């Protein structure tokens, strides 16, 4: 995970407030796309992406102000990365195409576990379901 965490941190460093606002406007469409992901080897990916999208929306719109900006930037990076069809592993590869997306998302969740667990609790979301530890 350390290399993926470095990758996420590097990508998040490029997330500006303007880019986060742009992503916010695209999230309704992306959320629909995410629900269409068929990745049986990564059964929690869709829920995790939806969770991150909700957290980004709430943070950027000001509905939830306690999320650190680094967590928001990392979540935005993960959403952008998952939305792109070409990544470290192209999404078109059967069985493996979403492995990189899942790794990026999990790195974001792990690095910001405390902040996201608090957010989940305040939203009535079972954090264990998001982290797949249930």
Taking 50 as the pLDDT cut, the residues of the chain under it are 134
CA 14 to chain centre: 16
Q: Give the pLDDT of residue 133.
A: 52
The DSSP call for residue 85 is S
Long-range contacts, stretch 113-120, CB < 8 angstroms, 24+ apart: 115/66, 115/67, 115/68, 115/71, 116/51, 116/55, 116/67, 116/71, 118/66, 119/55, 119/58, 119/64, 119/66, 119/67, 120/51
Domains of the chain: which residue ranges?
2-131
The closest of 61, 52, 9, 21 to 34, measured between CA atoms, is 52
Q: Give the pLDDT of residue 43.
A: 86
Q: Give the pLDDT of residue 98.
A: 75
Contacts of residue 19, defined as CB under 8 A and 6 or more positions apart, other chains included, come to: 76
Q: Give the pLDDT of residue 134.
A: 40
HSE, side-chain direction, 13 A CA sphere, residue 67:
32
């Amino acid at each position: 995970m350390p290399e993926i965490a470095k990758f996420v941190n590097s990508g998040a460093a490029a997330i500006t407030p303007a880019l986060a606002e742009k992503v916010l406007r695209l999230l309704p469409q992306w959320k629909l796309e995410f629900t269409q992901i068929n990745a049986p080897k990564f059964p929690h990916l869709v829920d995790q992406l939806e969770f991150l999208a909700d957290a980004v929306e709430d943070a950027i719109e000001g509905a939830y102000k306690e999320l650190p900006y680094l967590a928001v930037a990392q979540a935005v990076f993960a959403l952008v990365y998952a939305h792109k069809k070409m990544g470290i592993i192209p999404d078109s590869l059967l069985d493996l195409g979403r492995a990189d997306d899942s790794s990026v998302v999990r790195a974001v969740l792990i690095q910001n576990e405390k902040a996201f667990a608090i957010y989940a609790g305040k939203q009535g979301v079972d954090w264990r379901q998001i982290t797949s530890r249930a």
